[in-house]
Chain A
Amino acid sequence: MDENINILELCKKPEQIEKAKRVSSEWSRSDYSGSIKCRISNSFRMKYKIKPGLYAVGEPDANSEVFASANYKLSFDVLRKALSGLSAWILVLDTKGINVWCAAAKGTFGTKELVRRIDGVKLGNFLNHRRIILPQLGAVGVNADSVFKRTGFKVYFGPVYAKDIKAYLNAGRRKTAEMRKIKFSMLDRLILTPREVIPAMNKFIIFAVIILLFFGIQPTGILFKSAWVYGEPFLLLGLASITAGSFITPVFLPFIPFRSFALKGWITGILLTVPVIFLFNSPELKNILIFSATILFFPMASSYLALQFTGSTTFTNMSGVKKELKTALPVYLISAVISIVLLIIYKLHKLAVI
């Protein structure tokens, strides 16, 4: 009789297991469209969150593995997709909707939050083991030893990419050297370019207004025709700088000479600026003042934009970016000032003031 009661007790699922939200490892149409939208729109991405807590994929039980993830929905979706065919728990931390790596650097995917979640869902109460698998990049914010001391759970830093999880589990939670490495393929870089180009285009609108006003101002007032006729080559040069700095440099990154992003951006910038100048061959561009300002300003704008990409790469470091900025920022400021002065001298000359 006693035995029967024990069996019944064992068969009864603990409350935590019942409470865990069940999710599919399949992606719906909205999951796919969301994964694209969050690459394009900052505001969409910032709201692409799920509720932190415990989730269940498949039919997990007390012996199933536990994976930790961020509450950025794309991070969570990539993980659950990689777990198709498996039964596992996913413990979602509150990372304010930020992906694992960035959140780990900010500290939100960190020791404190992990400990809080493990305690919060009473993970220890319904599991027969004390293991939790984290994405390797979570190690930036999580001190495994400290988590063990505070919760009894042993942190395993799994593979960098969720797609390697099955191979990792099959190998007995062992990673190959390849599973530890972060990659940065041309496709990875291409996917990141909208986030470079779109903010640059917002700045371009201001630039365009200034250029059109500058060339539109004539002794007789602001003329739309002269604004467009004289301004057009400069608008295209501006677009060329954005193409060079925010698109070509990121996509072709390893193929552009020099390690410095500022130099890489300057090179692609000059390579695009010169053909555009010759393509137009306008009398304005032949003016030495305008020509000098153009050669000075546009490759430099491309250099500045290329340097912004350091924030999206997987291999640049803070010390290096600081070093680049130390030289680049004064150069940018001085070049911009000289360009503006040259343009003003030209304009005053044109208006026959001097």
Chain B
Amino acid sequence: MKYLKNVSSLKFFAEKCTNCLVCIDVCPHEVFKLKNKKVVVADKDLCMECGACALNCKYGAIAVNSGVGCATGIINGMLTGGEPSCDCGGSASSECC
């Protein structure tokens, strides 16, 4: 299953990549793959912006604007003027996921 085309904020800086493969190890959607012994982005549209790759890349070769991809969370964020949050209902005590 794929979500909207060309919306993921994933950025891959090949020149910083050392091919340590940690991104391939942590990505749950096979966004990265090895091509001629080099890491490449196989399909950006598969990226769900979870941020696991960017967090674990020691070399700063990946940047992604990660966050909750949840409509309720984003609407909550809009209403409270803050970041999208998956704490349903807006109060700190009622967390949903």
Interface residues in chain A, defined as those with a beta carbon under 8 Å from any beta carbon in chain B: 42, 46, 96, 98-99, 102, 104-106, 136-137, 139-145, 157, 160, 175, 177, 180-182, 184, 253-254, 259-261, 307-308, 310-325, 329
Residue among B65, B70, B95 making CB contact with A96, cutoff 8 Å:
B95
The answer to whether the Cβ of B39 comes within 8 Å of any Cβ in the partner chain is no
Cβ–Cβ contact A315 & B3, under 8 A? yes
Cβ–Cβ contact B3 & A316, under 8 A? yes
Cβ–Cβ contact A325 & B74, under 8 A? yes
Over the window 1-28 of chain B, the binary record of Cβ atoms lying under 8 Å from chain A Cβ atoms (1 yes, 0 no) is: 1111101110000000000001011111
Cβ–Cβ contact B55 & A143, under 8 A? yes
Min distance, Cβ B25 to any Cβ of chain A, angstroms = 6
Contacts of B75 in A (CB 8 A): 325, 329
Inter-chain CA distance A314–B68, complex, in Å, is 11
Contacts of A144 in B (CB 8 A): 22, 56
Residue among A136, A312, A315 making CB contact with B48, cutoff 8 Å:
A315
- What's the interface size class on B, roughly? 35 or more
Cβ–Cβ contact B66 & A318, under 8 A? yes
Inter-chain CA distance A147–B78, complex, in Å, is 34
Complex A-B: 22 CB contacts under 8 Å: A98-B95, A105-B66, A136-B26, A137-B50, A137-B52, A144-B22, A180-B28, A253-B1, A259-B3, A311-B68, A311-B72, A311-B96, A311-B97, A316-B3, A316-B69, A317-B69, A318-B66, A318-B74, A319-B9, A319-B65, A321-B71, A325-B78
Cβ–Cβ contact A311 & B70, under 8 A? yes
Inter-chain CA distance A317–B52, complex, in Å, is 13
- Nearest residue (CB) in B for A254 is B1
Residue among A137, A157, A308 making CB contact with B25, cutoff 8 Å:
A157
Contacts of A310 in B (CB 8 A): 69-71
Cβ–Cβ contact A318 & B84, under 8 A? yes
Which of B3, B5, B7, B71 gathers the greatest number of chain A CB atoms within 10 Å? B71
- Nearest residue (CB) in A for B70 is A311
Take A143-B56, A259-B2, A317-B49 as given contacts and tell me if A182 and B71 are in contact as well, using a CB distance cutoff of 8 Å: no
Q: Which 10 A-B pairs have the closest CB atoms?
A: A311-B70, A139-B26, A139-B52, A182-B28, A317-B49, A318-B67, A320-B4, A102-B97, A316-B69, A320-B7
Inter-chain CA distance A141–B66, complex, in Å, is 11
Contacts of B96 in A (CB 8 A): 42, 311
Cβ–Cβ contact A315 & B1, under 8 A? yes
The A/B interface has a contact count, at CB < 8 Å, of: 138
Cβ–Cβ contact B71 & A314, under 8 A? no
Interface residues in chain B, defined as those with a beta carbon under 8 Å from any beta carbon in chain A: 1-5, 7-9, 22, 24-30, 46-52, 55-56, 58, 65-75, 78, 84, 86, 94-97
- Nearest residue (CB) in A for B87 is A106
- Nearest residue (CB) in B for A304 is B71
Inter-chain CA distance A48–B7, complex, in Å, is 36
Contacts of A99 in B (CB 8 A): 97
Residue among A139, A312, A323 making CB contact with B4, cutoff 8 Å:
A323
Residue among A139, A322, A325 making CB contact with B55, cutoff 8 Å:
A139
Cβ–Cβ contact A259 & B29, under 8 A? no
- Nearest residue (CB) in B for A258 is B4
Cβ–Cβ contact A157 & B26, under 8 A? yes
Inter-chain CA distance A103–B49, complex, in Å, is 15
Contacts of B22 in A (CB 8 A): 144
Inter-chain CA distance A321–B58, complex, in Å, is 29
Inter-chain CA distance A180–B5, complex, in Å, is 23
Min distance, Cβ B74 to any Cβ of chain A, angstroms = 6
Inter-chain CA distance A114–B48, complex, in Å, is 24
Cβ–Cβ contact A259 & B5, under 8 A? yes
Inter-chain CA distance A105–B46, complex, in Å, is 18
